[in-house]
Amino acid sequence: MAAELFPTKKLVSSSIQNQQNVSNNNSAQGCCSWQGLYPTIRERNSVMFNNEMMADVHFVVGPPGGTQRVPGHKYVLAVGSSVFHAMFYGELAEDKEEIRIPDVEPPSFLAMLKYIYCDEIDLCADTVLATLYAAKKYIVPHLARACVNFLETSLSAKNACVLLSQSCLFEEPDLTQRCWEVIDAQAELALRSEGFCDIDVQTLESILQRETLNAKEMVVFEAALNWAEAECQRRDLPPTIENKRLVLGKAIYLIRIPTMVLEDFANGAAQSGVLTLNETNDIFLWYT
């Protein structure tokens, strides 16, 4: 989904080339000669990124069935993150040689380590949200800010609803405000986007009760039904009318159905089956 939500942006790094140079030089001249190839500490640190050489800790990153073992160097990690510092050198530090991190995807964890080791920000559409999660979890604020900037630059009506949900989760008020601006201005495009069906129920309710949406209420109603069908699938429920009403819960009452033109209501909402017979009759009476 992320690949569809964001245009791809990627910064090419030199760390991989540095490691290749080290490997070639080691083969030719011995394991201790590579330091002279790189004049700055930044370049020498880059060589150690994702490198088993002198590694004193390993991470098993990713959920079961999709893990990757990543080498690390405690000193470098502790300098780049207060969380790693506490983990390795704090009062409650544990001397573990292997640390499991099931809640972070391997590409995003490596993107964070690349920033810590190489001072390089390497973001792409597929992993930017997961990288933001990792940066927040391990308190790497400058990387987190770069992720938010990437998201703001990539913001459009197609991904605004998903980013609204994520910005609230990550407590990024500036990004939240930018999402609302896009959703308000291009509400019908945002509501009809695939990403709208991926939001959580709290974000759904926030959008439905928004008074500044530039959209017909019939479009809002149809979007809510599309979301309900997707939510049924997430809950392993058959997408029946009854189950759609069930998963919508109180959100159904946030739709301003009486503001629809009579024709839209009669041919759309009244025929959907989501409203009870009494609700449908009451709304018809309101029109008359």
Annotate 149-188 with DSSP letters as a single string: HHHHHH--TTTHHHHHHHHHHTT-HHHHHHHHHHHHHTHH
Q: What does the pLDDT average to over 212-230? A: 95
When comparing pLDDT for 75 and 261, which is higher? 75
- Interatomic CA distance for residues 170 and 251, integer angstroms: 23
Residue 144 in this model has a pLDDT that exceeds 80 = yes
Residue 29 in this model has a pLDDT that exceeds 50 = no
Taking each helix axis from N to C end, the angle separating 41-48 and 15-29, rounded to the nearest 10 degrees, works out to 80
Question: What digits encode the pLDDT tens for the residues 168-194?
Answer: 999 999 999 999 999 999 999 999 999
**What's the mean pLDDT when you consider all of the chain?**
88
pTM of the model: 0.80
- Interatomic CA distance for residues 279 and 17, integer angstroms: 67
Which pLDDT score, from 0 to 100, does residue 6 have? Answer: 53
Question: What digits encode the pLDDT tens for the residues 7-25?
Answer: 444 444 445 455 554 444 4
